[in-house]
């Protein structure tokens, strides 16, 4: 018995197309740019405190991205429950590769941003 025969992967759902993640990638680039600019300032001026403050920007962007991912997962769960409640077969939503990538980047931003925010001034 083929287990994939009873599944329907809804890649049509809003948010699961690549162009729906463009804002996520723009936020990622902004976060990386803030850290790079703060490191350049840190190397030029040892008294500069921008590096440790850039951690707060990373945490904020990571939290925004994680919220968006959680909201997308919640929509997928609601849609799956609605479909499985008698309106056809059970639905399994598979996240696209860019959704998974954004999720891991968001986690990395939150963790590294917290470390930079908390200990960035000690690294100078």
Q: Where are the beta strands (DSSP E) in 3-106?
A: none
Q: Which residue has the higher pLDDT, 79 or 90?
A: 79
> What is this structure's pTM?
0.75
Write down the pLDDT at residue 70.
Answer: 85
Write down the pLDDT at residue 46.
Answer: 58
92 forms bridges with which residues in the sheet? 9
What is the CB neighbour count within 10 angstroms for residue 116? 23
In terms of C-beta density within 10 A (0-12 exposed, 13-18 middle, 19 or more buried), how is residue 27 classed? buried
Per-residue pLDDT averaged across 44-59, rounded?
A: 79
Range in 42-46, 72-76, 98-102, 117-121 with the lowest mean pLDDT = 42-46
Cα distances (angstroms) measured from residue 67 to each of 22, 50, 88: 16, 26, 30
């Amino acid at each position: 018995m083929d287990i994939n025969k009873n599944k329907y992967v809804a890649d049509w759902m809003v948010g699961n197309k690549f162009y729906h993640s463009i804002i996520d990638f723009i936020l990622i680039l902004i976060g990386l740019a803030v850290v790079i600019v703060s490191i350049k300032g840190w190397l030029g001026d040892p008294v500069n405190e921008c590096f440790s403050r850039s951690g707060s920007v990373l945490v904020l962007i990571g939290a925004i991205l994680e919220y968006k991912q959680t909201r997308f997962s919640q929509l997928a769960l609601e849609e799956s429950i609605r479909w499985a409640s008698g309106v056809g077969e059970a639905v399994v939503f598979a996240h696209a590769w860019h959704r998974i990538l954004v999720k891991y980047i968001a986690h990395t931003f939150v963790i590294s941003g917290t470390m930079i925010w908390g200990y960035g001034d000690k690294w100078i």
